[in-house]
Every structure is written in structure tokens, then in C-alpha cells.
Structure 1
Amino acid sequence: MSDWPSLDFAADRPTIETAHLVLQMVGKLPTRLHPWVNHGWHVALRVTPRGFATRMMPAAKARDFAVEVDMRDGLVRAWCSHGGSWTTDIPGKTIAQLHADMSAMLEEADLPAPLHGAPNEMPDVIPFAADDRPREWDADAATRLHGAFAAADRVFSTFRSRYLGKSSPSHMFWGSFDLAVTRFSGRRAPPHPGGFPNLPDEVTREAYSHEVISAGFWPGGNGVDEAAFYAYAYPSPDDLSEGTIAPAAAYWHKDLGEFVLHYADVAAAGDPEAALMAFLHSSFDAAAARMDWPDDLATLQVSYGEPAQQI
């Protein structure tokens, strides 16, 4: 398989929607078990070789545990610092059935299981425990979807390493189902208007409490019905759309107020990593110049990103 597998949002959508809801359930755990980290970073999931996993979370009896959605084997896995791992399969189940199975799995392992609630950042939600709608899980689609996130994560992590200012990790937010990496100027931002469905405005305002230039990847939806990369700033300069962006396939999406580069254009490029990196750097430069970020901005960008061969 290519490092940049093919994606088809229309065909893969049923599996994408199932994965999104499973990740929402798993993502509820750190919201209720992990201390709050600035901008909600503690709830974001990290990309793993097989899927997406939580941070380490505390359990009773001086133990710690984590939960992973294994996209390649189609299961949810929990493992504990004191030994033991537990799994439950995803295919063939409704969200309500999976919610019950995950709760039982964690309780059997004597691990906390606060999986109650409903999805965030989605309209017209149904509580997990009551969602009996049929769900689909195509193993090939799930594997390709994870492969795309993993490829994006590699480039995002290198991009992050080239900035000495405050920057988020490359991490996946399960509410909107997007991988993101965010840079900060260090200055306060005006209060965000909020308005995301089924998400308290105070959460959004804390996430955007400071100026940001952010880039990310989503598998489709959110105004672009195919997998795409995006870049935006908050607060957004009025003339950001006039920025010069690379590669040539990238464009300004007026309705979203963001730069967009379709995943298919990256995957088809002679050097996909270079194409994506050009998009990340050019969108950052366009926003930083128009936002008058600190004068020492140039000194904050370095040439890290390669593993040390000797140390």
C-alpha cells in the first residue's frame, strides 16, 4: 500500500461515520479522567501505528490505563500499567451495542468507564447508549483512512518541530474528526463567538484564548465533501484570502474562510510530503505576516525535523 492511500469520501462515508462515533465515545474518557490541559489538548487522541489512542489516564489502585481504537483490526483495546489488555470488536454492532460492550469491558478490567453522554460538535445527536441505528464497518476503508491520518501526522510532526514558539502536538480532535497542529504567537485573542453544535461556548473560547495559526486534515465533510487539508488563523485577517499559497492546487475556500488543499492532490504529487509541507509553510507565512506576529518570528523557525544520528 502507498504511504498515501486512496480515499473516496462518498464510498467510505459509512465507515468514516462509524469511526467518528467510536472515537467520540473513547474521547469522552480523558474529558472526565485527565486533568485539563490548555486548549483542551488532553482530550485529543494521538495517531498510533494501528489507530488512535488516548493519553495515559489514572485508574484506582495506583494504576494507569489507555484506550485505543485499532482501525486495522476493527476493535477497541484497553491496556493497563499493571498488566492485562482487553478488547471488543467494532464491526456488526450499533453504537448502543458498542457502548454497552465497551462499558462492560472496562468494568471487567476494574477501570473507570465514564462513557455516558452524546457526541459533540454534531447536530441532532443521539446519546450513545440509545443509538440503535445500523452501522457499517469496511475493513479496507478503515485501514486506508488510518493510513491517510498516519501519513499526514508524519508531515505535521516535522512541521511542528520547525517552530520554537508554543505549538500543539499533531493530534486528532474527535469532535470534528480532524488532525491538527497549531502555532501560537503568545498574544491574547478576542473572545471567540462559539456556536459549534453541542459544544459549550466556554470550551471553544478557552481553545481560542490566544492567537493561533492552525493547519489540519479531515477525511471529508465540514464543507468539503472529500478528504482535504486546511489552514486558518484566529482572529482571521480580512485580507488573508490574498495570500500566496503553494502548491498550485491549493485555494481559498470563501465559505469556510480557510485555505484548502485536497488530499487527492497531495497523494498524486511526485513528492507528497514536499507538497503538503509547502502548503503548511506558505499558509503560515501568509497569516503571520498579516497578523503582525512578533518581530522575532524568523528566529522561531528552525531546521529541525531529522532524527539525530549521533547523540
Structure 2
Amino acid sequence: MTFSSHPWPELHYERLQETLAAVQLWTQIVGKIRLVQMPWINHSWHVTLYVSPRGLTTGSIPYADGLFELEFDFIDHRLAIRTSQGASEAMDLRPCTVASFYAELCERMARLHLPVDIYACPNEVDPAVPFAQDDQPRPYAPEQMQAFWQALVRMQPVFTRFRARFAGKCSPVHFFWGGFDLAVTRFSGREAPKHPGGAPNMPLDVMQEAYSHEVSSAGFWAGSPAFPQPAFYSYCYPTPPTFGEQPVAPEAAFFSQEMGEFLLPYDAVRLADDPEEALLQFLQSTYEAAARTGNWDRAALEFSFEQ
């Protein structure tokens, strides 16, 4: 199945990094609003954002008068706030400080009588400057943000198709604002050893609940100073000793000893003759590496045909 006739957009870490650093902090503010309004769902699935036809959305969030939603619109470059009462507000996405973004969002939420009672510091970043005190000027390059989102639009259906092959417990295809990555996670059904933690400014109990059961997780993120290029990743927890030695596809995929996971550069997918198939090969072969070395009950967990 081919999902799109449009080419996958070019992404360059050095052009993306400053805009994405700003947007990651903005999404943390929005994501924390969803976090405090939603009942806890296992593995923090209640906090995530989702790829939408215009950007990234919280989906429906309950409040006293019904439902509301916040959506980052990367076509018109606005943050839209909408309620089930028919009220709405919108603020432009533009170069600004995190403090001014936070202040304006709080003001617009107040106009709609919506709650913003959050822990107002970022997670999974270091240093974790409180939002109201982060007065560093931040750039916003609309064309770069739109390209990043368009890449998510291309890959999200492939992740969904991969998810549909699994009969066991599996996460939604969702976007974590902490790590700023699109991810989908499969579970073996067995409990896992206590996770040691290690993510910056992330409570240990949250990490241990997230990894309470054995997982094989795959996703996409835009890169970091340690690996300055957009890439797909796949890891498992716990990690069997021979996991990184398993054969995976396509040819450009490799195991990073430093990061403890399989990686596939985004460009290897973008430039492939069939990008969707190349990505699907990576997702499937790295899952099989985890399931094989972790002795998962594959007969019980996998569909014998694609749904």
C-alpha cells in the first residue's frame, strides 16, 4: 500500500534544531495541560500529542463544561484553542521567549475559563528553566517546522500499519513532548525489571511505570548534538545481550552501541525507491530482533495476516 504520492521532505538537523528546541518547550506547556486534566493512563499515554491534518493536537480534553482541544497548526502557524461550547482563541507561532508564550497562553485560556494549573517546568531537558522565567529569545522558522510536521504526516500511516499487525498490547501512535519523538510501543505481556531511570528531570517512578513491562519501541526524532541528523530508532527493554547483533533491514540500519538501539537515518528512507516499505522493513525487522532474543510468544501476539 502506498500512502502518498508526495515526496518526503528534506530535513536538516542544523536548520531544524533551534526552532524545534523552542517548539518542544511550547509543546511541553500544552502537554502538561492535558496531563493534569486527564485520568492517568498506563505508561503516560494520557500526556501525548497526536499528528493531525494541520499539525499536532492534544485531542479532546475534559473540563467542567465539556471538552476542549489545543492544536499546533503548522500550516497557518497558530496555536488554536477550541471548546465544545463553541468558543475559541488562537495565538500566532512566532519568534518569542518561552516566558511570553506561556503568559499569552495562560491569558487566552483564562478568557475561555479553562484551567492551566500545571507543574510549570520542563521535563527531559537540561537545564530545566521554569517556563515563566525562560526569557531567552527563541527563533521560529515556519518553513522548517512545516517540513518536520510534513515528515510526521508521511510516517504516521506507516507506524499505524505496523501497529495493526500486533494482537498484543500496543500503544497508540503518539508524539511524546518530553523527548519530542513520534513513537509506537509493543508489549510482550510480561513484567520487566525495575528501570534504573536516567532521563534528565524525569521522576524515577514515572520512568519505572513507563517501563513496568517488557517493550519493543520504535519511533522517530529529529536528532541531537550526539547524533546530529533525523533518524528512526528501535530499542527494547530489558535489552537481551544479543539484541544488537541481530540482522535488520534495510541495509542502512545499524546498531548504535553508544545509544543502545537500532538507528536508521531519515534520509535512507526519504531517498528510497519506496520510502514506506523501507520504513516498514525497519520497524518489522527490529521488532523481530527484540521478540526473538527476548523469547516473546509471537504466535499469541501477532496476527497471521495484516489487518
**TM-score range normalised by the length of the shorter chain:** over 0.9
Per-residue Cα deviation, 1:147-202 (whole angstroms, up to 9, x for no partner): 11111211101100111111001100000001000000100000000121111000
Per-residue Cα deviation, 1:77-105 (whole angstroms, up to 9, x for no partner): 11111112211112032111110000001
Which residue among 163, 167, 173 is the counterpart of 2:176?
Answer: 173
Runs of at least 5 residues in structure 1 that lack an aligned partner in the other structure = 306-311
State yes or no: 1:195 paired with 2:173: no
Equivalent-residue separation in structure 2 for 1:116 and 1:293 (angstroms)? 38
SS for the counterpart of 1:288 is: helix
Aligned-pair distance for 1:274?
0.2
State yes or no: 1:158 paired with 2:164: no
CA contact (8 A) 1:223 1:256 kept: no
State yes or no: 1:272 paired with 2:254: no
Q: Which residue of 2 aligns with 1:49?
A: 53
Aligned-pair distance for 1:116?
4.5
Equivalent-residue separation in structure 2 for 1:43 and 1:121 (angstroms)? 14
Equivalent-residue separation in structure 2 for 1:302 and 1:48 (angstroms)? 30
TM-score, reference length from structure 1: 0.94
What pairs up with 1:203-282 in 2 under 5 angstroms? 203-221=206-224, 223-282=226-285
Aligned-pair distance for 1:23?
0.8
Aligned-pair distance for 1:302?
4.0
Equivalenced residues, count: 303
Equivalent-residue separation in structure 2 for 1:295 and 1:96 (angstroms)? 49
Change (3 A) 1:270 1:127: same
TM-score, reference length from structure 2: 0.95
CA contact (8 A) 1:3 1:147 kept: no
State yes or no: 1:39 paired with 2:43: yes
CA contact (8 A) 1:3 1:148 kept: no
Q: Which amino acid aligns with 1:25?
A: I
Equivalent-residue separation in structure 2 for 1:224 and 1:83 (angstroms)? 44
Tell me the percent identity: 42
CA contact (8 A) 2:291 2:298 kept: no
State yes or no: 1:300 paired with 2:302: yes
Which residue among 2, 12, 18 is the counterpart of 1:14?
Answer: 18
Change (3 A) 1:236 1:281: same
Which residue among 120, 125, 133 is the counterpart of 1:122?
Answer: 125
Q: Which moved more, 1:64-73 or 1:124-133?
A: 64-73
Equivalent-residue separation in structure 2 for 1:113 and 1:169 (angstroms)? 25
Which residue among 9, 24, 41 is the counterpart of 1:5?
Answer: 9
Equivalent-residue separation in structure 2 for 1:239 and 1:228 (angstroms)? 22
